[in-house]
Structure 1
Amino acid sequence: MSSWNSVPLHVSYEALGWFAFVCWSISFWPQVILNFRRKSVVGLNFDFVLLNLTKHTSYLIYNTSLYFSSTIQQQYRDKYGKKEMIPVAANDVAFSVHAVLLTAVSLFQIAIYDRGNQKVSKIACGIVTVAWTTAVVCFFIALHNHHWLWLLSIFTIIQVSMTVVKYIPQAVMNFMRKSTDGWSIWNILLDFSGGVANYAQMAMQSIDQGSWMNFYGNIGKLLLSLVSIFFDILFIIQHYVLYPERKRKLETSPDFDNAKSSDQTLAENV
């Protein structure tokens, strides 16, 4: 492993990494707690959870393989340079394990709590099937010539693809319902904070090493954060600007209905 040139940058790197880990890890809990308190998963899109589980499982495979396998680490250095640092830290591995477990808990909650008329779509099932079929086929190809780093690039493609599509069903559901009820905004706020810290962490390593290969060598991590931040901003706008709770309560209150009826009567008289 290449050494750090600056102690302050190294300390900043570790601090930002664990800050991102804490934010991202905690971000899974508000939704789980909300589901538990309501004894309902109405408002939480099931496609999102299923696609999210596939994404985090792929990310777990990528992180653990690159962090623990000396063979894959050697292949990484052969491709990107002998002095390049491995772009996966301990907090990345810890986060992946936690993410898979908590997403699995959310999936279990979907099975036992009130679901209303919601269900997993055939499109989501098809996407997941294609993703894992591709992974299995590529595994046997890599097994023949031991191109494990190439196999990890396939898991990178899967996780980035899942990240791109997983938010769409939830965003569309919020738009159709004109509401974010049942969808925890704290999940989004914490995820956004973790994404910003993640970029800062990668920048610390690049500045110390005088090379931006840290970004190029871990393009999956880069794209994941970029896409996640984009959708986090979208959900924040939906929750606080487009469908704020105060507005929803006002529109569903009896006083609002009475005022609306009075306005209509007045308009008709005029």
Structure 2
Amino acid sequence: MNIFDCVIVGAGPAGLSASLTLGRARRKIALFDDGTNRNRVTTQSNGFLTRDGIKPMEFKEIGLRELSHYPSVHFFKKTIQNISKYRSNQFIVKTDDGQSFISDKLLLASGIQEHFSVPNIRDFYGKSLFNCPYCDGWELRDKQLIIIADKEEHALHMAKLLYNWSKEFVILSNGNKFSKEGIHELQKRNIKVKTETIKNLIGDNGYIQQVELTSGEKVNCVGGFVVPSFYRPNPFLEQFNCEINEDGEVITDGLGRTSCKNVYIAGEIKRISSPSSLINSAADGYKVAISINHDLSEERF
């Protein structure tokens, strides 16, 4: 049986950062990842100091290469099928190929995933349609854009944010009605709002050119932003009865400890209301790793 100090689920920036910190603390770590990270669809990741514009796969490869210098860190490219309590306060992790791993601590850093209301949006997502202006607004500055947002509050927030990068954009609500007050606030800035349902997104090789509405109207654009809904890709938090508030945010002590003993979280998995940047997730992974190492030190001294 493989026995570890901590199992880390997810080799995104949070999981990689936590693994590096714990590896340097000489903890025996099992890091699992199945290649389904959310940013795999995009061509570059922006805003991470010294790595601005890096390809997501290259970012992960650099991280894994750095981890290889620490013999107590073990990386497994596997899908975790089940996690359950083992003995008193340990966990047993089983992968889809039948292997089992025992760990004292469990760090969930598997992030969140998007759900879109427009069926073929993934044909363009990551190349010309994005969800974060901080990550991709610079590349789309001063261009003719769209914002796809089902909810008025999301549309208003994105419009105010995006307006600093480009003032040439149309908001598409995909069949959802906005209030007169909301539309008026946008129209004061000459921002058009189209409330018809989206019939189709038209473009080539991931680069959008038009949005066809059910009315037959076509809206021209070269890119834009979409506000998706988010969900957690696995049920582990709920399985261990970790406390989650009504907004979908996991309750922690501020240092990654959940309400379930020995279960920690880092990165985007904490809340499904909004995504996080690479640099924030990496910083969170470092912070939570400190908590894990502190708890191990206190328990074993």
**TM-score strictly above 0.5:** no
Ranked by relative contact order (alpha carbons within 8 Å, sequence separation 6 or more), the top structure is 1
Report the structure, 1 or 2, having the larger strand content. 2
